[in-house]
Amino acid sequence: MQQVYFDNAATTQIRDEVITAMTHVMKTSYGNASSSHSFGRTSKALIEKSRKAVASYLNVVASEIIFTSGGTEADNLILLSAVRDLKVTHIITSRIEHHAVLHTLDQLVKDYKVAVSYVDLKPNGKIDYLHLETLLKSENKTLVSLMHINNEIGNMLNMTKVSALCKANNALFHSDTVQSVGHYKMDLQDIQVDFLTAAAHKFHGPKGVGFAFIRKNSGLKPLIFGGEQERGLRAGTESVHNIVGLEVALKNAYEKLENETAYIKDLKQYFIHKIESDIPNATFNGKSGNMEKSTYTLVNVCLPIPPKKAAMLLFQLDLKGIACSKGSACQSGSNQNSHVLTEILSAEDLQKPSIRFSFSIYNTKEEIDYVVGVLKAFIN
């Protein structure tokens, strides 16, 4: 049976170069980075080298990069501290954010009575920038939290535009960039975002490590207390091999970005063409079927299958060796509809199965032929 992995928006295969670098660190640099002896200093030097490298790709200073266990922890750190320590009382977001943001905001409403406003969405899931500008007229201390690339439908936020609106209205701007760091170049001197988050496993690095960009003099305080690691913002012994793995993964991602982006774009265009020709009644959710207005890494397809038969689709795909998801991987065990698709699809289309297919450099057009063939046979 053929094995096809089209769930790269959930997590990616680790590059061989990353595994080699991590293994070397685990074997040779096992000292605690907080120790003063040579073993500890060696580990500390590796962490700071990685921090400087990550900062250079974003055009920021190294002290603005804080290593975390991943995007979820980084989002929690920023949002909680913004309310607790920066005295933010009003947060503007959208109803199609990742649950790492939405569920954190739910808790902040309970614990701190923070006011949350949801920006209007266009029918395709695009942010209504005029409504955002209206919401920013609030006299309360405001933070905007909007993701750069939606992890389910691939819609892209104009971060430069949003950051300018925030600055004009004295608001802070946080963006979950988990789906974009390592896939798009970002100059954070041009994009005046105050905070962003990333996770290594989304760009062919290890799971369990990510980072928060926190612009200097922000005033944020720690979420995890203990030692003085990570500039005092994230206590706990650093996972040196994971941090080095993140650095090597990001280095490879940006050094090979042009060629790899072109390759994956070609895969996505080919997938769209095959769906349109072989399953003409299928539609693409959000902007994911538009090569110019969505990320090049994923598509979200609504398939013309009745509800009773649709319930077996993911099971049948799995039997055929095909990995994909009905929404974000965080919801894969749930029977509920995707909160993202619920916001943008009609009641009729919500009864049909929508599947996210996401691509990487390790995929091929032959795999696309196989997957579309399986889908077509199932529908027929």
- The answer to whether 66 and 214 have CB atoms below 8 angstroms apart is yes
337 three-class SS: coil
pLDDT of 331 reads 43
| DSSP string computed for 197-220 | EEEGGGTT--TT-EEEEE-TT---
Handedness of CA 319, 321, 322, 324 (dihedral sign): positive
Work out whether strand 210-214 and strand 283-284 pair parallel, antiparallel, or are unpaired.
Answer: unpaired
Q: Which residue has the tokens 């608001």?
A: 171
pLDDT of residue 330: 44
Identify the pLDDT of residue 327.
57
**CA–CA separation, 375 and 310 (whole Å):** 11
- Residue type present at position 370: Y
Which helix (H) or strand (E) segment holds residue 196: the answer is: strand 195-199
**How much is the pLDDT for 335?**
54
Q: According to the model, what pLDDT value does residue 326 have?
A: 83
Q: What are phi and psi of 261, to 5 degrees?
A: -60, -45
CATH architecture of 16-255: 3-Layer(aba) Sandwich (3.40)
Query: How far apart are alpha carbons 180 and 199 in whole angstroms?
Result: 10
Kindly report the backbone phi and psi dihedral angles of residue 182, in degrees, each rounded to the nearest multiple of 5, phi listed first. 90, -10
- Compute CA 274 distance to the chain's CA centroid, rounded to the nearest angstrom: 27
User: Do residues 358 and 7 lie in contact, with contact meaning Cβ atoms separated by under 8 Å?
Assistant: yes
Helix 99-112 to helix 71-84 angle (10° resolution) is: 30
CATH 3.90.1150.10-classified regions of the chain: 4-12+256-379
Report the alpha-carbon distance of residue 178 to residue 157 in Å, rounded: 13
Every domain range in the chain assigned CATH 3.40.640.10: 16-255
Give the model's pLDDT for residue 343.
95
Within 256-290, residue ranges assigned H as helices are: 257-278
> Could you tell me the two tokens for 190?
């041009």
Q: Residues 196, 21, 257, CA angle at the centre, nearest 5°?
A: 50
CATH topology of domain 4-12+256-379: Aspartate Aminotransferase, domain 1 (3.90.1150)
CA geometry: angle at 264 spanning 192 and 53, to 5°?
Answer: 45
Q: Which helix (H) or strand (E) holds 143?
A: strand 142-145
The packing angle between helices 240-255 and 16-28, to 10°, is: 150
Per-residue pLDDT of the chain (380 residues), as tens digits, is: 799 999 999 999 999 999 999 999 999 999 999 999 999 999 999 999 999 999 999 999 999 999 999 999 999 999 999 999 999 999 999 999 999 999 999 999 999 999 999 999 999 999 999 999 999 998 899 999 999 999 999 999 999 999 999 999 999 999 999 999 999 999 999 999 999 999 999 999 999 999 999 999 999 999 999 999 999 999 999 999 999 999 999 999 999 999 999 999 999 999 999 999 999 999 999 999 999 999 999 999 999 999 889 889 989 999 999 999 985 444 444 456 799 999 999 999 999 999 999 999 999 999 999 999 999 999 98
Q: Is 216 exposed, middle or buried (0-12, 13-18, 19+ CB in 10 A)?
A: exposed
The Cα–Cα gap between 155 and 152 comes to 8
∠325-201-213 over CA atoms, to 5°?
Answer: 120
Q: Which two tokens stand for residue 241?
A: 């091999």
Query: Alpha-carbon Rg of the chain, whole angstroms?
Result: 21
Would you please indicate which residues are annotated as catalytic (active-site) residues? 330
